[in-house]
Copies of this chain bind each other. A is one copy, B any other.
């Protein structure tokens, strides 16, 4: 039931199917007085958009966003901000061949069993198209965060076995948008691009990792017990299509260290208390400590491949699924904008929550 609502204070509800009339989002809880620019939202949508480069899907979705409410004379009014993106590419015939078939590692089977009835066109609600609505909402969250000096950015740090071996403090973030991969290392980006082209030639796909970073975060965001900041970030990332894992700070590698190496020592520099190392990933006890927050998000290879695969149909009969259509050989270049959006939604939510910390 439900599941389409995110956040408690900066609350968003998304809707829409891949090949339905429109997708969209309503934000309930954006404070009044925020400058909202449609063109800024469009910038992030264009970073997520299909067809933006030669190595992503060539589906033609303009993803033009329209603001329907909640903004008056350029500023938010404190009432719900509704944004809509009409679907342009409603070619249902592309999907007729899989109406009754269960595509391997897709949500066809689970949606059918759960709901007994599903919109099979392009995956319907389970399509990653839904994330465009998140990106639109995330752009507004970013604008809110910016008023407090908080910035969110992401980049591709791994494609298949090709892995960036620099930390987020060692890269130049201005390079990120200069290549189609969104990897902040030009040479590695070239290798990744070549690899993705090769994989695509085989009719196959490959996974990757997006690193997310938050700078300028004040001390105190996040909550005790269940709503730890990294727990909410983790849920946010894991809710993105194709995500298989999340780690922050030292992550899975930290498991092998000893406490004496892992602990971040406090010191005072100027009038600020900081840590000399940052294995904590900017979060201690679930609450931001003012250092950079950084995390890694694992994406599996896209399930739609341009190969023939055995499967079953709704009646359980054996069948074959043939890859068709225009799909991504690797999602991570486009996922960067989604990772940023979800991080921004979490931080905006906790920013508002933190206003009730003290009397």
From 32 to 83 in chain A, residues with beta carbon under 8 angstroms from any chain B beta carbon are 32-34, 66-70, 72-73, 75-82
A13 at the interface (CB under 8 A from B): yes
- Are A1 and B356 also in contact (CB < 8 A) when A17-B79, A125-B225 are? yes
Contacts of A105 in B (CB 8 A): 259, 262-264, 279-280, 284
Contacts of A236 in B (CB 8 A): 226, 231
Contacts of A199 in B (CB 8 A): 258
Which of A164-172, A175-183, A184-192, A298-306 forms contacts with chain B? Answer: A298-306
- Give how many copies assemble into the complex: 4
Contacts of A266 in B (CB 8 A): 102, 104, 109, 311-312
A204 to B113, CA, bound (A): 50
CB distance A207 to B158 under 8 Å?
no
Contact pick for A312, options B13, B79, B130, B267, CB 8 Å: B267
CB distance A223 to B1 under 8 Å?
yes
Contacts of A287 in B (CB 8 A): 107, 110-111, 114
Contact pick for A126, options B84, B285, B298, B305, CB 8 Å: B285
CB distance A234 to B247 under 8 Å?
no
CB distance B358 to A78 under 8 Å?
yes
Contact pick for A359, options B14, B119, B126, B144, CB 8 Å: B144
**Smallest distance from the beta carbon of A165 to chain B beta carbons, Å?**
15
**Smallest distance from the beta carbon of A38 to chain B beta carbons, Å?**
12
Chain A, interface size: which category?
35 or more
CB distance A118 to B246 under 8 Å?
no
0/1 per residue, A263-279, Cβ < 8 Å to B?
11111100101010001
A29 at the interface (CB under 8 A from B): yes
A90 at the interface (CB under 8 A from B): no
Considering the complex, give the chain B residue whose CB is closest to the CB of A219. B113
**Smallest distance from the beta carbon of A198 to chain B beta carbons, Å?**
11
A264 to B311, CA, bound (A): 9
Contacts of A357 in B (CB 8 A): 1, 31-32, 78, 114-116
CB distance A206 to B259 under 8 Å?
yes
CB distance A118 to B77 under 8 Å?
yes
Selected A-B contacts with CB under 8 Å, 14 pairs: A1-B352, A6-B226, A14-B80, A33-B358, A105-B264, A109-B219, A160-B258, A205-B258, A234-B234, A235-B235, A257-B300, A259-B303, A265-B310, A265-B311
The 6 closest A-B pairs by CB, nearest first: A107-B285, A3-B223, A245-B247, A3-B227, A235-B235, A205-B259
Assuming A110-B289, A111-B285, A205-B258, what are 4 further A-B pairs, CB within 8 angstroms? A2-B29, A2-B353, A15-B68, A273-B316
